[in-house]
Structure 1
């Protein structure tokens, strides 16, 4: 399980949790709000483990029976709410797993803890059912609502919970973790860090993914030679990009980072800040040939392409418009 010392970033939240535990000011309901991969589950699990730890310190001891149970996912007083329908947490899920169960006292610890992942999937009826429990909880109950979108929760729920917002982690901390803990080489750590945009979970996933390297190589090959391509070659390139439809946002983000490098180098001539250090000669060449207006236009076109793809506009058409804009600028 580890301890709060092992968590990268989120110092304000960790300090809050430690103080709540040591001063015995634990609330009955918390919302952990942050994007996918930001660390909500990890913090909720550590908080729950600390509350039930037999040593009752500000961090879990990881040695007692309770900590071992929590680590193995078998603690009887930590209930993880599940749902059968993929995109909905129903009123029955909440009634059965929370409202009816919460009346039974803890089996062994001082608290009984409920962790509801993807809490924004709760229907309005499910939220109203949960609200009754949050309004009058037993003294031993603690409920964690994990969400990427706290706005989707009813104001009556959010007003009765302590909101813990997970903010982006500094790039320097992410890069350090990737290089020192995961032993990722510096050029790859730079790429994953730039890509993750402050999200540690995403950085770790990218650093561990061979598929990401493949997408990166494909995008780089395109960017190196797109200006020499004729229309038939552009059409072939679009077909090839089509094989990465599921990861198209990653593919477009790689192109975006490339052109940010071009813009940065054009403006500063500083190679140290460039992410694509292994492609510096191509970045320098593109910076010479492209105007500031042209690079801005490409960056805007990338955002437009993402929006259009999200709206289910024809994939080939969106990519053709994008590649022609890149080619012309």
Structure 2
């Protein structure tokens, strides 16, 4: 299991947790917030392991769990009786019974073998109002030995009374160069792919890990760029046929699609376009490949920038932004994508 040294670019959060470990002044409740893939549960489990460790040690200026005591061994195998993960029966909600049975009725039992009894609640945003009110009763009069760590991708989903009784620890975006270095050194990802994954992840190390090993994303990237290189010679119906071929996912459920188009595929498709034409603007301005993401497409990027003006490339980027705004406002996705690609074609 990992340690604090394995948490990247979350200095403010680590500083708070280190203070807790040094002073033994833990709060009864924390909320770790951040988008999916940002490492919330990873951080929570490192914190929980260190809180329960019976022989904490200082390593490189940080208090770390020893990883050798019985408590650490149990924590690392997810078998610690005093580190409890709150699960829920329904996939899309955490109901009042989940909180009552697994937390509120359980907190009256003292820790089995450790100083604290730690409850980790993943996907906390799924708690119903009734579930939050049940949790609130525990937060208002918590036993001295409990620590509740709520993980969420949406802080706005909570009642103000819940937030006011918790210490909120938001995750921060991880720098691209840190993500790239991590992928290359720890996952043996080649430099070009690591840089591309870091750029598309937008500071989310979990997403970068997924992209670096995701064959679907690699295919989408290649086919999207192939579409752009052939756009000038395609009719509108051919363009849209290819777009649907790229973005449709027969295995996706209704909640993850819009007019048959997979939302995750669409979002990656739009990011690929945005970064690709951003590369063209950078190359047009600098004539330098050092700051490009798509370094394997320099020949095509150069050919486009030789014939396109700054205004042309800026108009293409504007078209992409307009399409994204239209689609987020529930304009017909087919129409928005069609207008965008016609606009791109006119400026190439």
TM-based fold match above 0.5: yes
Stretch of structure 1 that moved more, 307-316 or 212-221 = 307-316
Question: In structure 2, do the counterparts of structure 1 residues 235 and 131 end up closer, same or farther at CA, with 3 Å as the change threshold?
Answer: closer
Give, in whole Å, the separation in 2 of the partners of 1:288 and 1:211: 32
| 2:257 corresponding residue in structure 1 | none
Cα deviation for residue 137 of structure 1 reads 0.5
Cα deviation for residue 311 of structure 1 reads 5.3
Stretch of structure 1 that moved more, 16-25 or 301-310 = 301-310
Query: Do the aligned residues in 1 keep the contact of 2:236 with 2:338 (CA within 8 Å)?
Result: no
Number of positions where the alignment pairs a residue of Structure 1 with one of Structure 2: 329
Cα deviation for residue 312 of structure 1 reads 5.3
| 1:28 corresponding residue in structure 2 | 28
| 2:3 corresponding residue in structure 1 | 3
| 2:320 corresponding residue in structure 1 | 302
Give, in whole Å, the separation in 2 of the partners of 1:97 and 1:67: 23
TM-score by length of 2: 0.90
Question: In structure 2, do the counterparts of structure 1 residues 86 and 308 end up closer, same or farther at CA, with 3 Å as the change threshold?
Answer: farther
Cα deviation for residue 97 of structure 1 reads 1.0
- Identify the match of residue 239 of structure 2 among 234, 240, 252: 234
| 2:287 corresponding residue in structure 1 | 269
1:142-157 alignment runs, 5 A limit = 142-157=147-162
Query: Do the aligned residues in 2 keep the contact of 1:40 with 1:166 (CA within 8 Å)?
Result: yes
1:1-329 alignment runs, 5 A limit = 1-57=1-57, 58-243=63-248, 245-246=261-262, 247-310=265-328, 313-329=331-347
Cα deviation for residue 313 of structure 1 reads 4.4
Query: Do the aligned residues in 2 keep the contact of 1:238 with 1:320 (CA within 8 Å)?
Result: no
Give, in whole Å, the separation in 2 of the partners of 1:304 and 1:20: 47
Greater share of residues in helix: 1
SS of the residue 2:165 aligns to: coil
Give, in whole Å, the separation in 2 of the partners of 1:299 and 1:129: 48
Deviations 1:220-243 (A, max 9, x none): 111222123233432432332243
Query: Do the aligned residues in 2 keep the contact of 1:29 with 1:134 (CA within 8 Å)?
Result: yes
Give, in whole Å, the separation in 1 of the partners of 2:26 and 2:91: 32
Cα deviation for residue 270 of structure 1 reads 2.2
Unaligned runs of 5+ in 2: 58-62, 250-260
SS of the residue 1:37 aligns to: coil
Give the aligned CA root-mean-square deviation in angstroms. Answer: 1.7
SS of the residue 1:296 aligns to: helix
Deviations 1:227-267 (A, max 9, x none): 23233432432332243532111111111110110111112
SS of the residue 2:107 aligns to: helix
Give, in whole Å, the separation in 2 of the partners of 1:180 and 1:20: 31
Query: Do the aligned residues in 1 keep the contact of 2:31 with 2:167 (CA within 8 Å)?
Result: yes
Cα deviation for residue 141 of structure 1 reads 0.2
Give, in whole Å, the separation in 2 of the partners of 1:288 and 1:122: 55
| 2:253 corresponding residue in structure 1 | none
TM-score by length of 1: 0.95
Stretch of structure 1 that moved more, 13-22 or 302-311 = 302-311
Give, in whole Å, the separation in 2 of the partners of 1:44 and 1:130: 19
Give, in whole Å, the separation in 2 of the partners of 1:278 and 1:218: 14
Unaligned runs of 5+ in 1: none
SS of the residue 2:314 aligns to: helix
Name segments (4+ residues, structure 1) moved above 6 Å.
none
